[in-house]
Amino acid sequence: MGSAVARRLELETVERISAEGRLRVEELYANHAQGAVRLAYLLVGDQEIAHDIAQEAFLRAFGRFADMRKPNSFPFYLRATIVNLARKHLKRRGLERLYVERLRARSRDSAVSPDVEQREVVTQALLKVPERQRAALVLHYYEDLSEYQVADLLGISQQAARSLVARGRKALREQLGGMRP
């Protein structure tokens, strides 16, 4: 009987702590949400992203709240989390910008009018290459896959894929009569 009473008392304590924890979380959110969004906005310059960063920071901070040695350090932890998330966002955005610039540069390079006649000649020559060799060539050069990936897709060994690509190049050169594709 004593253990049943102790168990009930333990459950009541957990429920009380949980209720107190929820109140504390609500209080912390109410006190710091506006400042968190403002800080995130000043770091990233976009209101929507600032809200997302602030929400993510709160989730991370609340998830670590029980582990904090000093519960009063919550605002500092929250700010540090916002700064780190903003830095991560800006880094990702910088990488995205770099990628877009590379795509633009590549499209400018390819903006030179293509030699349609030569392209058609190469396509016709490629169609005369044996099917498996053609598949290996197209996957390796057009799809830019490694020999390992070509082998995996064709269900053959890497050595066999390497051989197919080499034989396909030779066959294509012969079809083109020495002309470079």
Where in the chain are the domains?
2-109, 116-176
pLDDT band at residue 90 under the 50/70/90 scheme: confident
- CATH assignment, 2-109: 1.10.1740.10
Residues 107 and 145: their CA atoms lie apart, in Å, by 21
For the stretch 35-77, pLDDT in tens is 999 999 998 888 999 999 999 898 888 776 655 566 677 888 8
Alpha helices in the chain (DSSP H): 2-44, 47-64, 74-109, 116-128, 131-137, 147-154, 158-176
116-176 and 2-109 share a CATH fold: no
Check residue 42 and give its pLDDT: 92
Instruction: Give the predicted TM-score (pTM) of the model.
Output: 0.46
Query: Kindly report the CA angle at 117 between 108 and 175, in degrees rounded to 5?
Result: 115
- CATH assignment, 116-176: 1.10.10.10
State mean pLDDT over 95-106: 81
Burial of 25 (0-12, 13-18, 19+ CB in 10 A): middle
Query: Has residue 87 got a pLDDT over 50?
Result: yes
Check residue 15 and give its pLDDT: 55
